[in-house]
Amino acid sequence: MFNALKTELSEVLHLSKDALHIHLGLAIYLAVLLTLARGRRLWLPWVTVLAFELFNEAIDIFHHGPSTAELSGSVKDIINTMLWPTVLLVATHILLRRARQMDGTGEAVGSEDGFSRR
């Protein structure tokens, strides 16, 4: 059932399943970032995407069986899904660290997490 839903979503959006992993990973990351990540909890969106992806891959392996091809496909899917959320997490961490250093107090300029809420 879950695999049929993924296939149909891929066909409706005219995206390969690899592209679907990338787009959904970013969408989940941004949704959680904008709704839940405050203060020092900027890791929460990344962990959420990882949890969704590991659950998805567990279902795939359960459905198809733990063959070598399925496991290598799962590794590829995890990399596709986690690449850009990882880049965004690292970039945010670096930018916040630089903002704290520029402020000189160890705290980011504008708010506790470095993002102004105007």
Q: Is the pTM of this model over 0.85?
A: no
Q: Tell me the per-residue pLDDT of 58-104, one tens digit each, with 9 for 90 and over.
A: 998 888 777 877 788 899 999 999 999 999 999 988 998 898 888 77
- Pick the closest to residue 56 from 86, 36, 34, 76 (CA basis): 76
- Cβ atoms 52, 27 nearer than 8 A: no
- Pick the closest to residue 60 from 74, 76, 46 (CA basis): 74
